[in-house]
Amino acid sequence: MSDRAGITRRGLFRGIGTAGLLAGCKPSERPPTTTDDPGGAAGPGAGEAALGPGPAPLAFTLNGEAKTVEVAPHVTLLAALREQLRVTGTKVVCDRGACGACTVLIDGVARNSCMTLAHDVAGAAVTTVEGLASGGKLSVLQQAFIRHDALQCGFCTSGMLMSCQGLLERSRGQKLAREDVEAAIAGNLCRCGTYPNVVAAVLDAAGGSA
Amino acid sequence: MQPFVLSRPKTLAEAAELASARPQDSALRAGGIDLIDRMKEGLEAPARLVELRWLGEADREVMRALGPEGDGVQVGALVTLAQLAAHEGFGEAHAALREAAGSAATPTIRNAATLGGNLLQRPRCWYFRHADLVCLKGGSACLAVSGENKFHAILGGGPSFIVHPSTLACALTALDARVEIRGASPRTLPLAELFVTPKQDAKREHALQPGEVLVRAILPKPGPEQRSGYAAVKEKQSHDWPLAEAAVKMSLQSGVMTDVRVALGHVAPIPWRSREAEAVLEGKPPSEALFAAAAKAALAEAKPLRDNAYKIPLAQGLLREVLHRVAGVPLPE
């Protein structure tokens, strides 16, 4: 039983993927993880004149941790997070900025990672759903989502959480109204229709009335 | 998406040079929302994207400006819709722009999409957006004429029946905006001259040449007691393209409306200024009957296709609603 529980869907896929990869090529050395890499670290105004079309170094901060990856210019932030960095909490749904499932925070601002190129975040701080919990403890917002049953199938949840986290961060100290939350999640589609519970959860997490 | 080179020039001059060297193969990129969408849909595959957000300080300053410019207001092309929607400096005089920016797309899209990109995006017509179809934009016939045309033009159509997709353009038309272009022939022109009607050239929607960059919009000095407003009707309240939009600007002094501007959006291939409605309203005291007459005049020339006659009463009702709100006349009922 415990062995069965140890097999996860994603673990299984990853195993297949790694096996396929090892069969085809030799693993290359990763570039050093440092923020003073000449390819990135600096914000707009100090980048290289041209990147690509092949992979080019990119340095940014992901959930508080410095990352350096080699990524081609046409790769979206969403694809780089999921397929290169294997940070898969952020979901692919429409891939056109129409559903909000891929929402992440870039320097605290909620953005569609599917419509953002990975190289757009050079030198920036990216927060994904994995960055909400700390020390193995779910965030206040995540706990409120559970208390208020603010998810059903869960596919919109990681994006929904990030839009709500963005709202909580920019409204810190202010009292939130129902309309504020509704406006903040206006780009996050939930086909299960959990919106009222999401609103209640965010108001609760913000210390307002639920 | 196909692989491409991402160029990050330091000056507008370099950007213009890169974009015009191989015009069929290059694209300027600001927020990139519409561009990336078209590339993902397989409509375009530029070999080089030229980034405008990484320009050096001097050029970036003008393209990110948001605030007073002489007696008027300037809005840089790289200002995001979210910044516009949150800008408190607009006041009643320029409220239409703030309201339009806050109504477009979704909060997350508005955090990336820019004024320049919004004005210069390509049409949303489902025939144009279908990679497997060749419409008038690339071929010889507008497929909306005999096809599904629920969302298409009722005014100014033919030979193409797209509706112009820019929400900011509707508000900026009502606000008498001008746009500054840099490139081979730097110029500042009235917004109306930026747009191309399908009768002039059905293949394009704007007049910019390769290497030309729209750097900012400029709103003129507001008239005395100027006020403005914008509204849209959509099938969904959030993240939907409008079925119709209306924007109005006027000065209201001693109970009389002057310098009236009326613009309709998503009804024509260009942002649609209604001089007919303006003529009805100019120099008159606001009233319910006058607003109804203006709305009727605005749509008098409408020629619906098979599925979009509903847009006529919809646009009339919307325009009346905005006129009532901007002039402070309570709605009937």
CB contact under 8 A, B108 and A100: yes
pTM greater than the 0.80 cutoff: yes
In the A/B pair of chains, how many CB contacts fall below 8 A? 94
Kindly state whether residues B212 and B231 are assigned to the same domain: no
Kindly state whether residues A45 and A107 are assigned to the same domain: yes
Range of the domain at B149: 61-219
Domain count, chain B: 3
Which CATH number belongs to the domain containing residue A200 in this structure?
A: 1.10.150.120
CB contact under 8 A, B8 and A97: no
Residue A57: inside a domain? yes
Q: Residue B107 is nearest to which of A47, A72, A184, comparing CB atoms?
A: A184
> Chain B contacts of A100, Cβ < 8 Å?
106, 108
Kindly state whether residues A63 and A123 are assigned to the same domain: yes
Closest chain A residue to B236, measured at CA: A186
Domain count, chain A: 2
Kindly state whether residues B65 and B142 are assigned to the same domain: yes
pLDDT of residue A1: 43
Kindly state whether residues A121 and A40 are assigned to the same domain: yes
Kindly state whether residues A36 and A123 are assigned to the same domain: yes
Angle between helices A195-205 and A157-170 (to 10 degrees): 40
Residue B332: inside a domain? no
CB contact under 8 A, A163 and B107: yes
Task: Identify from A96, A117, A126 which residue to disrupt to test chain B contact, counting B C-beta atoms within 10 A and taking the largest count.
Answer: A117
Kindly state whether residues A70 and A29 are assigned to the same domain: yes
Kindly state whether residues B43 and B81 are assigned to the same domain: no
DSSP A38: T
Residue that is last in its domain, among B219, B243, B278: B219
Kindly state whether residues A117 and A145 are assigned to the same domain: no
Interface residue ranges in chain A relative to chain B, Cβ cutoff 8 Å = 44-45, 47-54, 72-74, 76, 95-98, 100, 103, 109-112, 115-117, 119, 163, 183-184, 186-187
> Chain B contacts of A47, Cβ < 8 Å?
8, 54
> Chain A contacts of B6, Cβ < 8 Å?
50-52, 73, 117, 119
CB A63, CB A126: distance < 8 Å: yes
Q: Residue B251: CB partners within 8 Å, gap ≥ 6? A: B223, B224, B225, B226, B227, B257, B258, B259
| Tens digits of residue pLDDT in A104-136 | 999 999 999 999 999 999 999 999 999 999 999
Which CATH number belongs to the domain containing residue B30 in this structure?
A: 3.30.43.10
Residue that is last in its domain, among B176, B193, B219: B219
Kindly state whether residues B237 and B89 are assigned to the same domain: no
Closest chain A residue to B240, measured at CA: A98
pLDDT averaged per 10 residues in sequence order, chain A, 210 residues: 54 52 35 29 51 97 97 98 98 97 98 98 98 96 98 97 97 92 97 97 80
Kindly state whether residues B288 and B203 are assigned to the same domain: no
Say how many CA atoms lie within 13 Å of B189 toward its Cβ: 15
CB contact under 8 A, B3 and A53: yes
Residue B56: inside a domain? no
Q: Residue B7 is nearest to which of A50, A76, A183, comparing CB atoms?
A: A50
Kindly state whether residues B275 and B142 are assigned to the same domain: no
CB contact under 8 A, A52 and B238: no
Range of the domain at A126: 2-131
Amino acid at A2: S
Kindly state whether residues A126 and A180 are assigned to the same domain: no
> b/e for B281-312, b at 16 or more Cβ within 10 A?
bbeeebeeebbbbbbbbbbeebebbeebeebb
Kindly state whether residues A91 and A24 are assigned to the same domain: yes
Closest chain A residue to B106, measured at CA: A187
CB contact under 8 A, B106 and A186: yes
Q: Residue A96 is nearest to which of B37, B49, B111, comparing CB atoms?
A: B37
Closest chain A residue to B61, measured at CA: A45
Residue that is last in its domain, among A131, A163, A191: A131
Which CATH number belongs to the domain containing residue B141 in this structure?
A: 3.30.465.10
Kindly state whether residues B141 and B272 are assigned to the same domain: no
Kindly state whether residues A36 and A101 are assigned to the same domain: yes
pLDDT of residue B22: 87
User: Bridge partners of B51?
Assistant: B29
Which CATH number belongs to the domain containing residue A57 in this structure?
A: 3.10.20.30
Residue that is last in its domain, among A87, A112, A131: A131
CB contact under 8 A, A110 and B56: no
Kindly state whether residues A47 and A151 are assigned to the same domain: no
Kindly state whether residues B83 and B194 are assigned to the same domain: yes
Distance from CA of B172 to the nearest CA of A (A): 24
CB contact under 8 A, A187 and B32: no
Q: Residue A50 is nearest to which of B6, B111, B112, comparing CB atoms?
A: B6
> Chain A contacts of B129, Cβ < 8 Å?
none
pLDDT of residue A28: 33
Separation CA A165–CA A145 (nearest Å): 12
> Chain A contacts of B109, Cβ < 8 Å?
97, 112, 115, 187
Residue B168: inside a domain? yes
Residue A210: inside a domain? no
Residue B158: inside a domain? yes
Secondary structure of chain B in HEC code, one letter for each residue: CCCCEEECCCCHHHHHHHHHHCHHHEEEECCCHHHHHHHHCCCCCCCEEEECCCCCHHHHHHHCCEEEECCEEEEECCCEHHHHHHCHHHCCCCHHHHHHHHHCCCHHHHCCCEHHHHHHCCCCCCCCCCCCCCCCCCCCCCCCCCCCCCCCCCCCCCCCCCCCCCHHHHHHHHCCCEEEEECCCCEEEEHHHHECCCCCCCCCCECCCCCCEEEEEEECCCCCCEEEEEEEECCCCCCCCCCEEEEEEEEEECCEEEEEEEEEECCCCCCEECHHHHHHHCCCCCCHHHHHHHHHHHCCCCCCCCCCCCHHHHHHHHHHHHHHHHHCCCCCC
pLDDT of residue B332: 86
CB atoms within 10 A of CB B40: 18
Residue that is last in its domain, among B192, B219, B246: B219
Kindly state whether residues B190 and B132 are assigned to the same domain: yes
Kindly state whether residues B291 and B196 are assigned to the same domain: no
Residue A170: inside a domain? yes
Residue B294: inside a domain? yes
Kindly state whether residues B86 and B199 are assigned to the same domain: yes
Distance from CA of A58 to the nearest CA of B (A): 13
Residue B333: inside a domain? no
What residues in chain B have per-residue pLDDT under 70?
A: none
Q: Residue B36 is nearest to which of A111, A115, A183, comparing CB atoms?
A: A115
Closest chain B residue to A48, measured at CA: B8
Kindly state whether residues B141 and B260 are assigned to the same domain: no
Kindly state whether residues A84 and A185 are assigned to the same domain: no
Residue that is last in its domain, among A83, A102, A131: A131
